[in-house]
């Protein structure tokens, strides 16, 4: 928790938070702020540039771009948040549980995760949508399942060194239950890692939503999302070279703010490690070294981007 | 003899089968209110002995009996219930790693009581204050600091406070003074002695430093490469060691060396020990100047006199071998160690 409190200090973190707050407001009240009906088509007013009537111009059906961006922000952000929440709900508890599974359980969990990671993303998303029906929630659920291994591995890697920390051993010597050890000794130290991972995953999910929409999976036209608008605008590049800039800018700003925030959390966590705070399992007792499995593979895997 | 803690035939090995065991057939008994020192060099298995005794390391064979009950076989609920009773406690060697960097001193010391869950918050607070006071720490000043914000000596005492807060009957303290300066060291050692006299608490002190044990321990066990080579009352063991390794240890520690004991030079091993010493026989044979063919079979700890054991085929003879020629053989360079008045 100290890590999180320290993370608020740098200016970059404050700026990032302000930006995210603005995005959150946009997501909540965007549709209400929209000056025009985001779905109203106007064939006589197609592919117009920014002007007094339509501040950001109109798209290929004459719909107001600003209104569509505002109205679509809630859907885009909610989609990304839903996917990441699903991924965390599946990945984090299993990652923590894997620390106590024993050799066989750990092996099985790891292989299951390996198998999940080999699934080609697009094919899996289409398969899920085919099985469960096409819709935003189904697509986001599929995305969440595919992101779960990332959270599993990150949580597990962060917790693994703590599992054999002497203060955890000593809590076990006092007779502490697994739940208690997790609450008092492990969760607060794993949390910054989970937050950093979540921030990165959210940023990627915002972009992935667009690639799904591009395939016609997930959000269905004419409903607007940032990713979907980016995808359609790319089809009219010759007529409107500037058009993709608006949705892209929103995605970039949101992703950038999330990354800034994640960096601040990570840096605060790195400070924590400096003044002799963190345990080092490698120099532990002979029992700890003999029993703790090699984590290098997991760390390397965790560092890989999923998409 | 039946004591509070009985270790019998304790063998521990890590890694592959066939690897040299870290502990090999260790026998150790600790009586009520007794302070037992365990000495040995780095890697001799002292910490593994302690960790096995408290149940952090499963023994390959042998038994750990505490207060008449075998605890090495406890699992699940029974093990947790025993641990929550707080009767056997273990103070880790390195307080920086054994204390959660995020918990304040007060919360860290309260942890055993909070886990046990049979005391209310006010009772716990009172017990924590009492434990901190016992170890000589100002609870009001240090209680709310994390372990990173107090000194090394204070941290060591916080660890001890946590180990005694549940009022154990036996405390196993792993190198409680090795990281401390002289004044803090004496303070902690006096504290252990006081806990024994005031509370009747038995203590096992693990140390590589003979002088810190000499003052407080009743008995000592000398570990060498996973075996107890000698065991007995501290005065007798330090005054007249029965095992050449103990003699070497004592000769290397001027502060505890008894007058007239053999010097380090006299215990220097032969230039090239026989090849078999690396693989078999007595664990000390490769460094022992008195090794003979009989030492190819590993000696078992044999009782010598009252309450003493020594694992040496030549326990009764080796002393005579150096008694006469030692002065003549002494090289001039070892004068420092030999400078007994």
pLDDT at B111: 93
Q: Would you say residue A156 has pLDDT above 90?
A: yes
The residue whose two tokens read 């000592």 is B220
Q: Would you say residue A272 has pLDDT above 70?
A: no
- Span A45-71, mean pLDDT? 85
Q: What percent of chain B has pLDDT over 90?
A: 26
pLDDT at A305: 45
Q: Would you say residue A216 has pLDDT above 50?
A: yes
Q: What is the 3-state secondary structure (H, E, C) of B26-75?
A: EEEEECCCCEEEEECCCCCCHHHHHHHHHCCCCCCEEEEEECCEECCCCC
Of the partner residues B84, B98, B116, the one whose CB lies closest to the CB of residue A170: B98
pLDDT digits (tens, 9 = 90+) for B175-192: 888 878 888 888 888 889
pLDDT at A291: 38
Q: Would you say residue A288 has pLDDT above 60?
A: no
pLDDT at A270: 58
- In terms of CA atoms, which chain A residue is nearest residue B77? A175
Q: How many CB pairs under 8 A join A and B?
A: 79
Of the partner residues B14, B22, B115, the one whose CB lies closest to the CB of residue A176: B115
Nearest to B247 by CA among B321, B336, B300: B321
Residues 80..119 of B with a Cβ closer than 8 Å to A: which?
Answer: 80-84, 86, 89-90, 92, 94, 96-103, 111-112, 115-116
Q: Domain map of chain A by residue range?
A: 2-32+56-302
pLDDT at A255: 82
Most trustworthy range by pLDDT among A3-17, B205-219, B256-270: B205-219
Measured at the alpha carbon of residue B136, what is the angle toward residues B132 and B141, in degrees to the nearest 5?
65
pLDDT at A304: 45
Measured at the alpha carbon of residue A189, what is the angle toward residues A184 and A191, in degrees to the nearest 5?
105
> Which residues in A have their CB inside 8 Å of a CB on B?
1-2, 165-167, 169-177, 180, 184-185, 188-189, 272, 275-280, 284-287, 290
Q: How far is B128 from chain A (nearest CA, A)?
A: 15
Q: How confident is the model at residue B222 (pLDDT cuts 50, 70, 90)?
A: very high
Alpha carbons A117 and B84: distance in angstroms, whole number: 42
pLDDT at A269: 65
Q: How far is A262 from chain B (nearest CA, A)?
A: 21
Instruction: Please give the helix or strand (H or E) that residue A6 lies within, else none.
Output: helix A2-7
pLDDT digits (tens, 9 = 90+) for B313-338: 888 888 877 765 444 444 444 434 44
CATH (residue range A2-32+56-302): 1.10.3720.10
Alpha carbons B56 and B308: distance in angstroms, whole number: 29
Q: How confident is the model at residue A301 (pLDDT cuts 50, 70, 90)?
A: very low
pLDDT at B113: 93
Lowest-confidence range among B80-89, B154-163, B244-253?
A: B244-253
Measured at the alpha carbon of residue B17, what is the angle toward residues B15 and B19, in degrees to the nearest 5?
70
- Span A69-96, mean pLDDT? 90
Q: Would you say residue B258 has pLDDT above 70?
A: no
Task: Report chain B's mean pLDDT, rounded to a whole number.
Answer: 84
pLDDT at A47: 83
Do the Cβ atoms of B158 and B95 come closer than 8 Å? yes
pLDDT digits (tens, 9 = 90+) for B163-179: 999 999 999 999 888 87
- CB distance B83–A174 less than 8 Å? yes
Lowest-confidence range among B51-55, B172-176, B303-307?
A: B303-307
Q: How confident is the model at residue B18 (pLDDT cuts 50, 70, 90)?
A: low
pLDDT at B260: 66
Nearest to B243 by CA among B296, B207, B295: B295
- CB distance A280–B92 less than 8 Å? no
Q: pTM of the predicted model, to two decimals?
A: 0.76
Task: Report chain A's mean pLDDT, rounded to a whole number.
Answer: 80
pLDDT at B323: 62
Q: How far is B83 from chain A (nearest CA, A)?
A: 5
- Span A130-143, mean pLDDT? 84
Q: How confident is the model at residue B295 (pLDDT cuts 50, 70, 90)?
A: confident
Q: How far is A161 from chain B (nearest CA, A)?
A: 12
pLDDT digits (tens, 9 = 90+) for B85-134: 889 999 998 888 999 988 899 999 999 999 988 888 999 999 999 999 98
- Which are the contacts of A167, defined by CB distance < 8 A and separation ≥ 6? A185, A279, B97, B98, B99, B100
Q: What percent of chain B has pLDDT over 70?
A: 91
- Span A117-136, mean pLDDT? 83
Two tokens, residue B231: 């065991």
CA distances from B256 to B35, B142, B217, B337, B338 (A): 18, 36, 13, 12, 13
Q: What percent of chain A has pLDDT over 70?
A: 85
Which of B101, B128, B166 would best serve as a mutation to test chain A binding (most A beta carbons within 10 A)? B101
Q: Would you say residue A115 has pLDDT above 80?
A: yes
For A285-306, b where at least 16 C-beta lie within 10 A, e where not — what string? Answer: bbbbeeeeeebeebeebbeeeb
pLDDT at B306: 80
Where do the domains of chain B lie, and which CATH numbers do they carry?
Answer: 5-222 (3.40.50.300), 247-338 (no CATH)
Alpha carbons A178 and B318: distance in angstroms, whole number: 54
């Amino acid at each position: 928790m100290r890590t999180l409190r320290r993370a608020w200090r740098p200016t970059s973190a404050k700026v990032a938070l302000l930006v995210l707050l603005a995005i959150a407001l946009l997501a909540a009240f965007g549709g209400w702020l929209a000056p025009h009906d985001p779905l109203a088509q106007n064939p006589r007013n197609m592919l117009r540039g920014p002007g007094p009537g339509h501040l950001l111009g109109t798209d290929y059906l004459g719909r107001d771009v600003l209104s569509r961006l505002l109205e679509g922000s809630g859907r885009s952000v909610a989609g990304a948040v839903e996917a990441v929440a699903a991924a965390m709900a599946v990945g984090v508890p299993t990652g923590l549980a894997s620390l106590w599974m024993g050799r066989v359980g750990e092996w099985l969990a790891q292989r299951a995760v390996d198998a999940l990671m080999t699934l080609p993303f697009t094919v899996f998303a289409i398969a899920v949508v085919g099985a469960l029906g096409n819709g935003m929630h189904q697509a986001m659920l599929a995305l969440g399942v595919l992101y779960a291994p990332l959270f599993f591995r990150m949580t597990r890697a962060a917790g693994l060194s703590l599992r054999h920390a002497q203060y955890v051993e000593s809590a076990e010597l006092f007779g502490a239950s697994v739940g208690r050890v997790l609450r008092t000794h492990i969760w607060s130290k794993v949390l910054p890692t989970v937050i950093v991972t979540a921030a990165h995953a959210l940023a990627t999910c915002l972009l992935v939503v667009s690639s799904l929409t591009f395939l016609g999976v997930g959000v269905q036209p004419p409903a607007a999302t940032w990713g979907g608008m980016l995808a359609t605008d790319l089809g009219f590049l010759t007529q409107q070279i500037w058009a993709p800039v608006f949705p892209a800018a929103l995605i970039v700003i949101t992703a950038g703010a999330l990354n800034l925030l994640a960096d601040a959390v990570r840096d605060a966590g790195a400070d924590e490690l400096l003044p002799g705070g963190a345990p080092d399992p490698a120099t532990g007792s002979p029992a700890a070294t003999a029993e703790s499995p090699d984590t290098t593979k997991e760390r390397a895997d965790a560092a890989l981007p999923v998409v | 003899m039946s004591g509070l803690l009985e270790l019998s035939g304790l063998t521990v090995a890590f890694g592959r089968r066939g690897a040299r065991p870290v502990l090999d057939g260790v026998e150790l008994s600790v009586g009520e209110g007794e302070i037992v020192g365990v000495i040995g060099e780095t890697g001799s298995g002292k910490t593994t002995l302690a960790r096995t005794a408290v149940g952090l390391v499963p023994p390959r064979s042998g038994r750990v009996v505490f207060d008449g009950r075998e605890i090495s076989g406890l699992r699940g609920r029974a093990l947790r219930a025993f641990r929550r009773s707080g009767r056997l406690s273990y103070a880790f060697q390195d307080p920086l790693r054994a204390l959660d960097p995020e918990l304040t001193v007060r919360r860290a010391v309260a942890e055993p009581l909070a886990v046990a869950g049979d005391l209310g918050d006010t009772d716990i607070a009172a017990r924590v204050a009492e434990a901190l006071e016992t170890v000589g720490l100002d609870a009001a000043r240090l209680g709310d600091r994390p372990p990173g914000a107090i000194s090394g000596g204070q941290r060591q005492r916080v660890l001890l406070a946590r180990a005694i807060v549940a009022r154990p009957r036996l405390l196993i303290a792993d190198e409680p003074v090795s990281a401390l300066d002289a004044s803090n060291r004496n303070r902690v050692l006096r504290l252990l002695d006081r806990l024994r006299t005031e509370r009747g608490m038995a203590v096992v002190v693990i140390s590589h430093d003979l002088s810190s044990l000499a003052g407080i321990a009743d008995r000592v066990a000398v570990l060498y490469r996973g075996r107890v080579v000698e065991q007995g009352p501290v005065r007798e063991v330090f005054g007249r060691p029965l095992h050449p390794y103990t003699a070497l240890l004592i000769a290397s520690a001027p502060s505890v060396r008894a007058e007239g004991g053999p010097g380090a030079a006299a215990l220097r091993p032969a230039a090239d020990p026989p090849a078999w010493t690396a693989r078999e026989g007595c664990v000390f044979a490769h460094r022992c100047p008195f090794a003979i063919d009989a030492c190819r079979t590993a000696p078992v700890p044999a009782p010598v006199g009252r309450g003493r054991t020594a694992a040496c085929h030549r326990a009764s003879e080796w002393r005579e071998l150096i008694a006469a020629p030692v002065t003549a053989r002494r090289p001039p360079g070892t004068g420092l160690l030999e400078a007994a008045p």
